[in-house]
Structures are given as C-alpha cells and as structure tokens.
C-alpha cells in the first residue's frame, strides 16, 4: 500500500496541469497541439518523460482535449547497481470545457489508466490504475489599465474511483495564473499557484476484508510555477517553466518543463 501511495504522488508531479489552461476557450475551428519534456527531482528521487496533448474547439464555446499522454523515461530513487525503473506509457486525460460567458467556463476531465502500472525494479510506474474525474469552474479576465496583463482562476473537485481495493480521498483544487503579454506579444511571462486540500481520507481493504483509513483528511499541497512563452510566429510558441511543490499530498519537489505549442 505504501508503494501505491508513493506512486500516486510521483504521478501527481507530472500531471500538475489538469485542465488545458485557465483562460477562455478558443474560437470554433481552432486548436493546439503540444509536446514537451519534463524533469522532476527531490533528493535521490527523480523522474523524466515526454508529455503530449491536443485541443480543438469543435463548435463555438465548446473545447475538447486530450492531455497528459506520452512516455515516462524513468521515475526512481537513485541507488548503485540498480536499473532504471518507472518507465512506460502515461495515462490519458480526456477533457471538455464550455465557455458559459466571456469570463466564466465549466470543465470536466476524465483520466483513463491506459499507462504502464508495472512497478518494475526500483521504480514508480507512470500509472496507478485509477480512473478519476476532475470537474469545476473557471473565471478569467484582463486587468484593466495594464495592457497585455490577464489572470485566470479555477476551482474544482478531484474524485478518484476505487481500484485494487484502494480509494483515494476526495480533493478540492484552487488555482490561479497571471499572464503578461508584453506589448509586442513575442514574450509572455507567467506566474501560477495551485492549492490542494484533501477532504476525505484514503481508504483500502486488506486481504481479510477489513477496511483501513490513512487518516490523511486535511492534508494540503502547494504548487508554484514560473515560466515564459516565446512566440516564434502566430502558430508556434515555445514554453519553459520552473515548478516548485510542497506539502503532504504530493510531497516536495522541483521540476522543469520545456515544450512547444502548434496552433492551427
């Protein structure tokens, strides 16, 4: 059970961005493809991999997306003589957002455990075999008086379904991001923060049918990221960010992400 909880924390580090972003849905017929590399570490533990995603506005105000898929190169605690562990395909999230008003959106994400859940040797697999739903609302608007400055916010509930006699506690997530498109709109620096609070405890059932609780309701987590996008042209944006996380739920770690977005 301890290995299962550790694996869930490792997965959370590479899935920090559940919805695509916190800003309005694109116009109908427009979409984005993205790909990037991530690297997270804390003391002797580290993980790295490839993250892929796509979104498309099928009709006005309705966006569908595929997120979080890709390939994890490793996720392991370093030790001499050990082979790399925790590699394999990542889970896939299918998302939907609907723009209710110019400033308010609703969203739902369904995470499917299609990735590798084999522990392997000295590794934390990229999947923990859990189906989960993340749903909530978003609010965003430009900052009056400062050209190019805007912020987006999000609040949602993360609910993981029972699997392998284990059920993760219900979580509430509150997040926000500030973006600044400089006047020429070539550089877009941004700063974001996410707070997570566990509302109910993790539970599991042992081989004798006894149910146990982890007594972890009330645990919390802070994720902070600082990044910048660079527009090569209206269709291609480079993206890089530095991520910090601290708390009881996902643990402490530092992360780097570098990727590219293709708009069409």
Domain of 209, CATH number, reads: 2.40.128.130
**Structural domain range at position 166:** 2-263
Overall average pLDDT of the 16-23 stretch = 76
pLDDT score at 209? 84
pLDDT band at 9 (very low <50, low <70, confident <90, very high): very low
pLDDT score at 4? 40
Distance of CA 34 to the CA centre of its chain: 14
Q: In what order do the strands lie in the sheet with 166-167?
A: 166-167, 203-205, 211-213
pLDDT score at 1? 42
Radius of gyration of the CA atoms of the chain, in A: 19
Overall average pLDDT of the 154-159 stretch = 98
Q: What are phi and psi of 164, to 5 degrees?
A: 50, 40
pLDDT score at 22? 96
Percent of the chain with pLDDT over 90: 77
The verdict on pTM exceeding 0.95 is: no
Is residue 70 over pLDDT 70? yes
Domain count, the chain: 1
Percent of the chain with pLDDT over 70: 90
pLDDT tens per residue across span 32-57: 999 999 999 999 999 999 999 999 99
Question: Minimum mean pLDDT among 10-14, 91-95, 248-252: which range?
Answer: 10-14
Overall average pLDDT of the 174-200 stretch = 94
pLDDT score at 60? 98
Is residue 153 over pLDDT 60? yes
Is residue 243 over pLDDT 80? yes
pLDDT score at 7? 43
Dist. CA 207–CA 61, nearest whole Å: 49
- Give yes or no for a contact between 168 and 196, defined as CB atoms under 8 angstroms apart: no
Residues 6+ apart with CB under 8 A from 125: 7, 75, 86, 88, 115, 116, 117, 118, 119
pLDDT tens per residue across span 107-147: 999 999 999 988 666 678 899 899 999 999 999 999 998 99
pLDDT score at 120? 64
Dist. CA 182–CA 74, nearest whole Å: 37
Average confidence score pLDDT of the chain: 90
pLDDT score at 82? 67
pLDDT tens per residue across span 84-98: 678 999 999 999 999
- Give yes or no for a contact between 227 and 189, defined as CB atoms under 8 angstroms apart: yes
């Amino acid at each position: 059970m301890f290995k299962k909880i550790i694996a869930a924390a490792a997965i959370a580090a590479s899935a920090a961005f559940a919805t695509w972003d916190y800003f309005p849905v694109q116009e109908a017929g427009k979409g984005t493809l993205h790909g990037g590399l991530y690297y997270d570490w804390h003391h002797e533990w580290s993980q790295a991999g490839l993250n892929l995603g796509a979104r498309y506005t099928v009709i006005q105000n309705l966006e569908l997306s595929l997120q979080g898929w890709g390939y994890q190169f490793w996720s392991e605690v370093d030790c001499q003589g050990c082979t790399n562990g925790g590699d394999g395909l990542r889970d896939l999230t299918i998302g939907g957002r609907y723009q209710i008003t110019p400033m308010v959106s609703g969203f739902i994400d369904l995470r499917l455990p299609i990735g590798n859940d084999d522990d392997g040797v000295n590794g934390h697999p990229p999947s923990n075999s859990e189906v989960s739903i993340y749903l909530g609302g978003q609010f965003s608007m430009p900052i009056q008086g400062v050209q190019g400055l805007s912020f987006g916010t999000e609040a949602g509930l993360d609910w993981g379904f029972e699997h392998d006699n284990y059920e993760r506690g219900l979580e509430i997530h509150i997040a926000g991001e500030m973006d600044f498109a400089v006047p020429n709109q070539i550089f877009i620096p941004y700063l974001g923060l996410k707070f997570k609070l566990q509302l109910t405890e993790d539970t599991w059932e042992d081989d004798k049918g006894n149910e146990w609780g982890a007594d972890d309701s009330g645990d919390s987590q802070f994720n902070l990221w600082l990044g910048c996008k660079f527009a090569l042209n209206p269709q291609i944006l480079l993206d890089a960010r530095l991520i910090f996380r601290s708390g009881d739920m996902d643990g402490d770690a530092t992360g780097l992400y570098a990727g590219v977005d293709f708009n069409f």
